[in-house]
Structure 1
Amino acid sequence: MWRQCIDKSYNSKFVQLNKIHPIRMGTFYILFIAVISAVVVHGTFDMKKQNIVFIMADDLGWNDVSFHGTDQILTPNIDMLGYSGVALERYYSHCICTPSRSAFLTGKYAHVTGMQGYPLTNSEDRGLPITEKILPQYLKELGYATHLVGKWHVGGSRGEYLPLKRGFDTHFGHMGGFVDYYEYTLEEKLSNDLVSGLNLYRNETPAWDVEGYLTDLYNKEAISIIKSHDESTPLFLMLAHMAPHGSNDGALLQAPPQDVRTMRHVESPERRIFAAMVKKLDDSVGDVVEALEEKGILNNTIIVFVSDNGAMTSGNSVNYGSNWPLRGLKMSPFEGGIRLAGVMWTPLPKANHLYRGYVHVVDWLPTLLNAVGAELPNNIDGISLWDDIIINKESSRKEMFEIDDMFGFASIISNDFKLVTGNVTPEYSDYQGGGSLLRIIGKPPSYFDAIKKSKAYKSLEKIDRLKDTEYYKNVRNTLKVNCDHIDESQICYTKSDKLCLFNIKDDPCETKDLSALFPDLVESMLLRLTEEKKRLIPRSPLYRNPKSNPAFFNYTWTTFADHL
């Protein structure tokens, strides 16, 4: 990597030397390489900081991206980032949006910051503790320009919780869990009544003047930031799309009609709108890659694309996403709630493979800091997996936790095994997202035609980062999860007096309870889980403060606690 950096630095900073005598030019180059080589060996070479673009989808299911094998919803731009970068086979996060975003920002499990449990409501006076140092603050110290576009959802009741107070230079987006895709309002139950208010902000000012489809607005803002970025400083852009999260109950699924029409091969009417929402998300990814290439900084940018948690096929905030054939939905500790789509693209050509080791959302903070040569904090749960992923070696991460004292369940993954305890919600813990939801009318659109027409493909072709179609097919086939016939009458549901043990490597769909076969393993994993629970900071009780009513603040959701 240092040699690539040397070549780039040489070409950009010493291009005027082409007028020097050839012998002198060659001598200078040899001396330059020698000096740089020496300082690299001694560890003092300060490599130019990489730009970071982190894209997070909202409630996108395992089966909602086409590089996992589906032909129903095509995501060619997202797929191309995985095919030309690193596709993460075993990427995990928390099962709910506020916990997963808190974990990403802090590098700590949500249960050690008190951010686990039911997602933050706009009427709660609660937020990510200001004592926690978060990723944009680390990057600001390294000279980064930091921008957040889209969803925040880790605190909006007080000014001190807001993005501009937590290390971001700018923010355009919604503070809470969701909004209407066209009106940007959020509806919430308050004092046995439904209240509504605008929840879209530019920095800390309500964005009353904005018009358009939300995914397009966020995409346009992200492109504008990239195009206007001053290259003398490195860029950190977090693009936290709301798509494909559901909206208010009266209009849960929303997409431009012309995009819904392109999904006529999807039989389910609800899934058809959802598919159009995912299409807009994927189009945005392509636009971002294209903008980086046209700016001339794609070869100096790390791009990450992940979902925050699994899809909500039914129930609260249903979006008709699919985690099939994985078991469970968002808000459950089963694989469908926590095993997600994830890719990482880097300028390093050698980082082009399928990565099969564990990666957890808490690992991004140290991994990205390590990637840009920063000193790593030692009081976090995240592990830097930069070297593991880049050279494709076994993951340093061996265990992961999901602990939720509000819903009353907990799980531990240790190597190939997963132990689930407590009271899971049965309707969120079964198998959904298959059957009629995945039916196709006629012939589906051509996958590889879509790949070759995508903006990401064309941009990556310009920098010579493509592979042959056979490679794409092999990755896609490997990532597709296949399970034997599932007898739902035999699957294990945990209760206060019942736990379940699964081998998630051999049985990724969690169909066979092995707790009776491996009592010693259950005991040791339960002991480790009990030890981890001692670190838990209890989730504050959910209290919807009537003084948060948007009617008191010109019909906007705002920092109401500052006015108490």
Structure 2
Amino acid sequence: MIIMESWFFVFGVSLILTLSVQGTHAADQPNIVFIIADDLGWNDVGFHGSNQIPTPNIDALAYNGIILNSHYVQSYSTPTRAALLSGIYPMKLGMQGPSFLAAEKKAMPPHKLLPEYFKEMGYETHLVGKWHLGYSRWNETPTFRGFDHHFGFYNSFCSYYDYLSTWRYNDHDYTGFELRKDGQPVFEETGKYATDLFTDHTVNVITEHDTTKSLFLMLSHLGVHAANKGKPLEAPQETINNFKHVVDANRRTYAAMVAKLDESLGSIVEALDQKSMLSNSIIVFISDNGAPTIGSFKNWGSNFPLRGLKDTLFEGGVRSVAFIWSPLLVQTSRVSTDLMHITDWFPTLYTAAGGDIDALDPELDGIDVWSSLVYDLPSPRNDILINIDEKTRNAGLRFYNWKLIVGTSQNGTYNDYYGHIVMENIEDVPYNTSAIYDSIAGRVIRKTNYSPLTEVEYQSLRYQATVKCTAVKKNECDPATGAVCLYDIPSDPCEENDLAKFFPSVVRRMKRALVDYRKGLIPQIEGEIDIESDDPKLFKYTWSPWLECADSSCQIA
């Protein structure tokens, strides 16, 4: 009898503990807000050293978190998003080429994506804004790929007020509406500025969130991507008027677009605080690639002083603005120069959420760096495959301090330095640390931080985060000529001094590593432009899934 009673007692305690763990699990898991700025330039945030465009909320979060100064992405939107959500190098997915186009029969391969893992852990998952991973069939769209809800658009861009996206095929323009909520067009939202609209929706998600569940919220802004060619840049005029010191009129509008992004972060931080979610939240902010200062979809962004643009493997194309902020981080208010790749967020955030890393696909290329971020421990990441594109024969690799570039894109058109050409001011503008301190984010952070930073400490971190062209000697290298370029990035972040001829053994070793990586390459996904079947006029002038759908009567399941 005593044995039986003891057994029941042990069983009862075990059951209570199990139920208790299940009941508190969601409360213990951090809320994760992952924010992507589109085509934001390296030099277009204040914490990287520029005074031209104040970004007080962004700077407040960056200074009080960890500035990730060696954070690498892909050189295009679609590959970056594929790498983020899969944790796999794009060349292993067949997605190493350019971004998807409207009406193109391409989609993200059927790998299990990050939001699907989060859903299994009890998270509520939301995507706000850009998808850009395929939409030819409904089951390629966000709510079929792990997101409970999606409010945004499927293609690369749309206009900022009327949400129209125009593409030119066969000498004809095709225009369709691009704003949807869980697959359904939301025409009633036209007239609202996109950055504000996506911010308001994000704030609403937070405000209405059931806090018995944890939240994974990915805000993928349209800003600051160029819109339709007739009017590529759009912002409220009252915001543009704040940048009368900028010489270039297009740059003024771009600056206003960045300012609206900055306001967005302040609103989101405030919403998390008012919902009492901030103390258990992780906020990540990145750009998906460098700015296209010039080119067919230029946005007048600046990657100064880095070399290259979006669509290049130079630092200006693949080294992105990035920071992480969270009360869960122990060692903060620092600038990290540890290598980090966009794929690393997959296992890192999964671990932060309490997931068992052994449950993830062992073929992931992402590396879990959560402990390194939390405690400032040495990072396990020491190399990054930047890309291998078998069509352009363009490849890049980081290995410790070294970077190797082989081949080029666009025949080397964007391999130069362009960031300075938009930086001219009518008058100098001082860096306003008081505006950072008094920003919405600055004020909210002071409530959660036991030792808030002073304005002097802001300046110190800013100095550390500002990239300086420090190469003593300059040996030019243009991979468009067939040359292989080797750079020591910590001492030459602007890629001015080619060291290939001085370190041939390093070149050989890195080329061998590229050959080894090449063995895992999946040929690029091929997909024709099927505009005849995806002509927006067939779907009430919206861009819509068209395979297995003949007209607008075909609705999301």
Normalising by structure 2, report the TM-score.
Answer: 0.90
Residues matched between the structures, number = 522
Which residue matches 1:331? 311
Could you list the per-position Cα deviations for residues 283-339 of structure 1 after superposition, in whole angstroms to 9, with x for gaps in the alignment?
Answer: 000000010011111001011000000000000210000001000000000000011
- Residue aligning to 1:521: 506
Map of 2:370 onto structure 1: 386
Distance 2:407 2:323 in 1: 32
- Mapped contact 2:306–2:419 kept (Cα < 8 A): no
Shift of 1:491: 2.3
Deviation at 1:535, TM superposition (A): 1.1
Instruction: Name the residue aligned to 1:396.
Output: 380
**Corresponding position of 1:221:** 201
Q: Does 1:358 align with 2:339?
A: yes
Would the aligned equivalents of 2:37 and 2:223 in 1 still touch at CA under 8 Å?
yes
Q: Is the 8 A contact 1:483 1:509 kept in 2?
A: yes
| Aligned-partner Cα distance in 1 for 2:431–2:409 | 40
Aligned to 1:270: 250
Seq. identity, %: 39
- The answer (yes or no) to whether the contact 1:421–1:496 under 8 Å persists in 2 is no
Q: Partner of 1:461 in structure 2? A: 446
Moved runs in structure 1, 4+ residues, more than 6 A? Answer: 44-47, 485-488
* 2: CA distance, partners of 1:249 / 1:487: 41
Matching residue of 1:190: 169
249, 262, 273: which one aligns with 1:293: 273
In structure 2, how many angstroms separate the alpha carbons of the residues matched to 1:207 and 1:320?
A: 30
CA contact 2:125–2:217 (8 Å) conserved in 1: yes
5+ residue gaps in structure 2? Answer: 1-16, 551-557
- CA deviation profile, 1:360-383 (whole Å, cap 9, x unmatched): 100001000011110221221000
Alignment match, 1:139: 118
Matching residue within 321, 324, 329 for 1:341: 321
**Structure 1, residues 105-142: CA drift from partner, whole Å, max 9, x if none?**
00011111111211101110111012x01111000000
1:449 CA drift (Å): 2.6
> 1: distance between equivalents of 2:508 and 2:223?
41
Is 1:121–2:122 an aligned residue pair? no
Distance 2:30 2:415 in 1: 41
Give the deviation of 1:149 after TM superposition: 0.4
Residues of 2 paired with 1:329 and 1:486: CA distance?
24
Q: CA deviation at 1:209?
A: 1.3
Q: Give, in angstroms, the shift of residue 406 of structure 1.
A: 3.8
Relative to 1, partners in 2 of residues 1:485 and 1:365: Cα closer, same or farther, differing over 3 Å? closer
Q: Give the corresponding residue for 1:11.
A: none
* CA–CA distance in structure 2, aligned partners of residues 141 and 476 of structure 1: 40
Q: What secondary structure does 2:168 align onto?
A: strand
Q: How does 1:95-494 map to 2 (within 5 A)?
A: 95-130=75-110, 132-211=111-190, 212-348=192-328, 350-352=330-332, 353-376=334-357, 377=360, 378-401=362-385, 402-425=387-410, 426-435=412-421, 437-444=422-429, 446-464=431-449, 466-484=452-470, 491-494=476-479
Q: Is the 8 Å Cα contact of residues 312 and 408 (structure 2) preserved in structure 1?
A: no
CA root-mean-square deviation: 2.1
Q: Is the 8 A contact 1:118 1:407 kept in 2?
A: no
Distance 1:453 1:68, change over 3 A: same
The one-letter code matched in structure 1 to 2:460 is N
Letter in structure 2 aligned against 1:393: L
Asked if the contact 2:26–2:212 (Cα under 8 Å) also holds between the matched residues in 1, the reply is no
* Counterpart amino acid of residue 469 in structure 2: C
Partners of 1:486 and 1:523 in 2: CA distance: 25
1:536 Cα deviation from its structure 2 partner: 1.2
Aligned to 1:14: none
Q: Distance in 2 between matches of 1:507 and 1:414?
A: 14
Residue by residue over 1:216-265, the C-alpha shift from the partner in whole angstroms, topping out at 9 and shown as x without a partner, is 10000000000000000000110100111100110011101000001111
| Contact 1:91–1:340 (Cα < 8 Å) also in 2 | yes
Q: Distance in 2 between matches of 1:407 and 1:319?
A: 25
- Give a deviation string over 1:253-286, Cα, whole Å, max 9, x none: 1101000001111111111100000000010000
Structure 1 range deviating more: 158-167 or 440-449: 440-449
